[in-house]
Amino acid sequence: MSLNTDIMDNLVATVDYYNHRISTPTWHISEDQIDFVDISYVVNGQAEYIINAKRYTVTAGDLICIPVGSRRQAVTNPNSLVELYSINGQMRDLNGNNVTLPFPIVSSIGLHKDIIALYTELNTVWRLRDPGYLMRARAIYLMLLQRFFQLIVL
């Protein structure tokens, strides 16, 4: 087994925050140090992120993976409003140890119908908040992460 397979097979992820963001011209994230992992998938428009003092311009098809403890800020391009799906939470192994995902800060993975379908399902689960919704949200998140591993690491 490779290290990457070990990480995938033993990953426990929480969904502490989820949002399908369709930005306004003034949308921004103020600079702050985050105590969670931020995974965001850009499906339209453009934004500029500054992560640990490095500038990234992201567009449709980009996956942003911001590790816990990072300093982050962002702003949309007012002429090309960003639309993205964001999940914030913790990444741990089965023993409760923090896990760092083997993803770059920004990966150009392209737009994928199967990924957007999973986010659409997550959106429904998150809005309805039926009993057990957090368990279902975590399950969908793990399916998303497995797909990202396929596209980026494997």
pLDDT at residue 6, as a whole number: 78
Give the closest residue to 43 by CA, choosing from 17, 81, 88, 74: 81
| pTM of the full structure | 0.95
What pLDDT sits at residue 4?
60
**pLDDT at residue number 98:** 93
C-alpha to C-alpha distance for 115 and 125, rounded to whole angstroms: 15
Alpha-carbon 75 to chain mean position: 17
Segments of the chain scoring below 50 in pLDDT: 1-2
Give me the amino acid identity at 89: G
Contact call for residues 134 and 26 (beta carbons, < 8 A): no
